[in-house]
Structures are given as C-alpha cells and as structure tokens.
A = this chain, B = another copy of it.
Amino acid sequence: MNAEIIAIGTELLMGQVVNTNASFLSRELSSLGINVYHQIVVGDNPTRLAEVIEAAEQRSDLIILSGGLGPTKDDITKQVLAEHLNKKLILDKSTMEKITMYHESRKRLMTENNRLQAMVIEESTILKNETGLAAGMFLTQNNQFYVLLPGPPSELEPMFIKEVKPLLMKKNQNETYIVSRVMRFFDIGESQLAAELDDLIEHQENPTLATYAGKHEVTLRLTANGSSEEACYLLLDNMEVSIQKRIGSYFYGYGEDNRLENVVADLLKERKLTLTAAESLTGGAFQSQLTSISGASQYFKGGIVTYSNESKKEILGVSKETIKNEGAVSAQCAIEMAQNAREMFNVDLGLSFTGVAGPDKLENQEVGTVWIGLSVKGQPTFAKEYHLGKGRENNRDRSVMSGLELIRRTLLNLPIHQKVFSGKKVE
C-alpha cells in the first residue's frame, strides 16, 4: 500500500505554520510498512483541493487529508471531498451532542458554523476526537482509502494513533507481520548514536533501524517483519542485544510516548516514594512536567520556586554564608535547597535546580552552568554539575530532563559520575 498526505491550510502556504503533521504521519505510516511517495500542501481553495485529490487518486492507495475540518468558512475539506466522491454530508449525532455540551458548559453561543462541524460524509467511519470538537472520517471508495484528520497536532496525533492506526493495520493485512519496538535514550546525541550503530544501520535489512531526534532525547525504532509475531519479536530481541551492548548506558525505556517523567513517575509509585523540588533557573518547569501526568498526587505533595536569592534564604532557609561565599549557582546551594525542601515538605526525595539559564551570565558563571541537588532520606545529600549550552529554553528543558535522569539513576543504583557532597568532590 502506498500513501499520500495532503495538508490543507492557507497558513501553511503563508509559512505561518510548519507542517509537522506531514512528518508525524510519514513516520507513523512508515512504521506500518506503508510507503509515502508524496506530501502535498494546498490552501483553503476548493478547486485546487479537488485537483490535488484527483492527482493523488492516480497514484496512491491511501489519501490522508489533514486540516480544514474546523468551524469557519475556510474549512472546506469534507465538503470538497464529499462533492468529489458524489456523497452527501449528514449530521453525526454524537459529534453534535459533544459540540452542544461544549458550548453549554462554557455558556457560549452556538453558531450555524458550529453545527456545520457536526456534519460528516455519509458512509464514513467516524474517528473520535478526544482533544477537540471536529470528528475525523475514514472512508473507502473504488479500492481507495480516504482519511480526514483535524489540523491541530494535539488533535491529529492522538486520533491517528488511537483511531486510524488500528483500521490501517486491518486493511494492510497481508501475510507478513510487522512489529516495531521503540527504544529511548537520554544524554546521547543523534549523530553519536548513529556513529555507535554505524554498521548496524548501514547493513540494516530486517529489522530496519530508524533514529529520531526528539527534544533532548533520541529514539530508535526497530521494525521487523516476519511470518508470525513471534518471529518478529525474536528478530527484535536479537537486534536489541547488539544495541544494548553498545549504547545501553544511555537507554532509559521503551515505547512511543513513554517519556523520562513517566519512567520516573512509575518508579516512585512502585516504591511508594514521595518527592518535592526547589527550583531556581527552571522556575517551576520540573514540577509542571511532573504534574502533567495524571495521578501525580500519589508521589508529589508540592514544592517551591525560589527564583531570587532572598527567597532561597528567607523561605527555603539556605544559609546566608552559602549565598555570600559560594554563590547561588554552587554545589552547596543546590545541596541546601534539596535538603531543606525535602524537610519542609516532609517527603522522601528532594530535588533542586540552580544555575544560569541565560541569556546573561550570573555570578560571573557561564550560561548553561547548572547544579542539580538530590536529597534522599537516610542518605547524604549530593549535587552534580552540568554544562548545558547556550539557549535559555534549552538550558531549562535539559535541566528538567537531567533532574529526572538523576532520580532514575539514583533509584536504580546506576552509576552517577562526579557527585559532590557538601562542597567536597568524591568518586
């Protein structure tokens, strides 16, 4: 089966929005063994949209249309496709109910446009939208498959994973099984990872290997095909052994959505441990990321953001001498922050962040210098130094990830180099 992705939206043609949907869908389709030969972008123009659909039908089995399902006059995707396929638009009751409830609960006026959003192409399978109002659609005509998805990635991505993928796996069923495994790595760059696996990537056949650089992490997708699921798993297991041997020390987990915070959350829950944080340069970003996971109240009771030196001293009780003699960006400050926060919130683990986010130097220290402290009940509190880089956003994000990794390694007794205890370097 081969596929074509058509994104609809004048904002794409104006360059206001980058077409990340096309790369997301391409990656997902490739993992299903479906080849993508064309990605197209057109504006909110019925004639041009109909033309590109027609061209796609000449060459592609599966046509995925993204965008243009919203409530405004610009949104024309389902109307154009319905007319092109000679089908009617009909009201979908459950979407209508959802839209009505949405407006009632917010006490907002419903317009004719909102009602239009509940119209779907007849004879199509409705794809549920968990994160928005526009329903997706899946339909078949003349041995061709059409998928309509909403434009916002926050709606398109879960809809594809939960609704479209299972349907495509059924349609694409032939005698070969395709099984993928995603391995996740932190603290290694994509190019270093590729270099370590150079020969494996060069001679890849079955399983295939695809690296993907996410935000501060790299994922590696292994895709095997075989005559049975078991055969696929065996191929994946064998390949994984070779990979773990080379870069296992950077490996932290499996799975598409299984980010470092999920791995840490699971560890904390498993061991019934509670955690707090005292944040300076990250300004609440660590706690925000931790509580983005539902059920966070099991291991997180609260924490503190001490952005200024005064709040570090007056609220968190960091000693005046430490700030004066060592500075806020120091091992000793990170250690006191972690320990005092742990005692203040009466929990098992206290994590702290202090450093120079940028763009300016602080205490004459380079942008990107960060100390992360960790205090575990019954163990000596320590801190670790990082030199992260230049950009403010990068430094904050990487600090959060590094803090998560520090907890993971500590809980699993994995090596942590260059720990500092109360200003004294050991190891």
Contact = CB atoms under 8 A, between A and B. Distances in A.
B42 A37 contact: yes
Interface stretch (A100-108, A120-128, A319-327): A100-108
Given A37-B43, A111-B191, A292-B393, A301 B307 contact: yes
A375 B11 CA distance: 40
Contacts of A130: 391
A30 B201 CA distance: 40
Contacts of A15: 22-30, 36
A387 B308 contact: no
A308 to B, nearest CB: 4
A202 B16 contact: no
A25 to B, nearest CB: 7
Contact of A302 (B14, B42, B306): B306
B42 A38 contact: yes
Interface string A40-82: 1111010010001001000000000000001111100000000
A289 to B, nearest CB: 8
A326 B391 CA distance: 44
Nearest to A311: B302
Interface of A: 10-20, 22-30, 35-43, 45, 48, 52, 55, 70-74, 102, 105-106, 108-109, 111, 113-114, 117, 130-131, 152, 154, 189-192, 194-195, 201-202, 210-213, 215, 221, 279, 282-288, 290-292, 294, 296-297, 300-308, 310-312, 315, 344-345, 357-360, 368, 387, 389, 391-394, 396
A35 to B, nearest CB: 8
A391 B72 CA distance: 23
A357 B302 CA distance: 15
Contacts of A20: 18
Most interface-central of A28, A42, A72 (chain B CB within 10 A) = A72
Main secondary structure of the interface of A (DSSP, over half): mixed
A36 B13 contact: yes
B311 A307 contact: no
Contact of A283 (B14, B282, B292, B311): B292
Given A304-B302, A308-B301, A359-B294, A41 B14 contact: no
Contact of A41 (B17, B39, B194): B39
A309 B286 CA distance: 20
A63 to B, nearest CB: 15
Contacts of A12: 22-23, 26, 39
A305 B308 contact: no
Contacts of A71: 190-191, 194
Contacts of A27: 14-16
Contacts of A24: 15
A131 B72 CA distance: 43
A61 to B, nearest CB: 15
Contact of A213 (B70, B114, B359): B70
11 contacts: A13-B35, A14-B27, A15-B26, A18-B19, A105-B368, A113-B194, A130-B391, A154-B393, A283-B300, A284-B291, A301-B307
A290 B396 CA distance: 13
Contacts of A73: 194, 201-202
Most interface-central of A189, A359, A391 (chain B CB within 10 A) = A189
A29 B71 CA distance: 29
Contacts of A52: 38
A71 B192 CA distance: 9
Nearest to A109: B192
Most interface-central of A18, A302, A392 (chain B CB within 10 A) = A302
